[in-house]
Copies of this chain bind each other. A is one copy, B any other.
Amino acid sequence: MSDLKHIFGVGIIGCGLIGQKRAKALGSGGRLVACADIDVSRAESFAKGTNAKVFRDWRDLVCQLEVDVVIVATLHDSLAEITHTAIEAGKHVLVEKPAAKTAAELGPVMAAVEKHGVKVHVGFNHRYPRSLRKAKEIVDSGVLGELMFIRARYGHGGRIGYDKEWRSKPELSGGGELIDQGPHLIDLARWFLGDFSEVQGFAHTYFWDMPVDDNGFMLLKTAKKQVAFLHASCTEWKNLFSMEIYGKDGKLDLSGLGGSYGVEKLTWFKMLPEMGPPETTSWEYPMADDSWAVEMAEFYDDIRLNRAPDAGLSDAYVALNIIEQIYKESGYDHCA
C-alpha cells in the first residue's frame, strides 16, 4: 500500500450530511467501494451512480477486502465502536470528531491502533479551510512572535425543533454544544498553543428544552500560562466563527467559514517597531471550500508515507477529557 499510485478503496459508514461531504471529497486518491447505513435506502441512494456495495450493517462493510479506508460518519454513540472494529479488521480509519462519546471509550481504540499498525485520522476538519491553513503557516513562520493567548467564538442559532434532534439526547451525543462545536475550538486552540494543563469552564442549558448544554465557556491554560478563551453556542442567533490569535509581535483575526458563517477571512495585524496602529493585511476566500479534499489527500499521504496523522485519536482524547471535566463541574451527569 506504499505504492504511490494505489487508489484507496474507501468505505463510508453513515450516509448523512457529513458522509456525503466526505464522499464528494475523496479526490483522485480514493474511490468509494462500499457504504453502509441503518437506513439502507439512504445508503442505496448514496451509492447511486457508483459501483459501491451497499450494506445495512456496518460490520459487513469493515471486513470487505477492497476496503482500505473506512470513514466513520455516524452518531457519536457508535463512533468508537465502529472505529475499533475497523482497526481490528486492519483498516485505516477516518473517524469524525469527537471520535467517541467519552475519553474512556477511546482507550481501547488507541491500544488497538498500536497493535494493528493502521492509521487513524480524526476529522477535525476545521484545521483545513484555507484561512486556517494560512494562519498556521503564518504562526509557524514566527512573524507573530511567541503566542500569548487565543480568543474564539463559534456558534449558530439552531432551528425550530433543534431540541428534539439526536444531538439533544445524551445517550446518542454524549452532550450538547460543548461536545458538538466545542471540540473544534479546543482542537484549534491546541493546534496553535499546545497542551493545556489547567481547565476552567462552564456549560449550561439556557434556551433549548433538552437535558444537554446549549453553551460552553472555556478558560484553558498551557503550562506557560497561554490562555485559550473559548465559547461555543447554539444560541448564537447569527452564525459566527471568530478566532483571534495573539503573539507578542502581532495578531491574526480569522472569521467566517463560508455559507451562513460568512466568507472566510484572515487578517494579519503586524506590530511596527514604533507601535501604534499595526500594519494590516487581509485575505478573503470566497471560492468553493476545498477543506474536505485537502484533509483526505493528507490522510492518503499519511498512509502511504507511514506518517502519524496530524489530527489523531490522542487529539480527540485530550479534547474529550477537557469537555468531560467541564461537564462534571457544571453539574451534568450524562458522562458520569
Contact = CB atoms under 8 A, between A and B. Distances in A.
Nearest to A227: B217
A246 B235 contact: yes
Given A274-B160, A281-B281, A217 B219 contact: yes
Contact of A287 (B148, B237, B276): B276
A200 B278 CA distance: 32
Report copies per complex.
4
Contacts of A248: 206-207, 235
A37 B188 CA distance: 51
B283 A280 contact: yes
A271 interface: yes
A151 B149 CA distance: 17
B215 A157 contact: no
A192 interface: no
Contacts of A92: none
A91 interface: no
B219 A238 contact: no
Given A215-B148, A219-B219, A281-B282, A269 B202 contact: no
Contacts of A269: 237-238
B227 A160 contact: no
Contact of A251 (B158, B238, B275): B238
A99 to B, nearest CB: 27
A271 B219 contact: no
A163 to B, nearest CB: 12
B217 A229 contact: yes
Interface residues of A, number: 51
Given A160-B274, A282-B284, A284-B282, A225 B204 contact: yes
A196 to B, nearest CB: 12
B278 A157 contact: yes
A206 B224 CA distance: 10
A286 interface: yes
Nearest to A244: B153
Contact of A160 (B157, B238, B275, B279): B275
B237 A221 contact: no
A62 B281 CA distance: 45
A197 to B, nearest CB: 13
A69 to B, nearest CB: 29
Contacts of A219: 200-202, 217, 219
B227 A202 contact: yes
A140 B157 CA distance: 23
B151 A235 contact: no
A272 interface: yes
Interface string A214-254: 01010101000101010101011110000000101011000
A48 interface: no
A134 to B, nearest CB: 11
Interface of A: 148-149, 151, 153, 157-160, 200-202, 204, 206-207, 215, 217, 219, 221, 225, 227, 229, 231, 233, 235-238, 246, 248, 250-251, 260, 267, 269, 271-272, 274-288
13 contacts: A148-B206, A148-B235, A149-B206, A149-B217, A158-B275, A202-B227, A206-B225, A217-B219, A233-B246, A237-B271, A238-B269, A238-B278, A282-B284
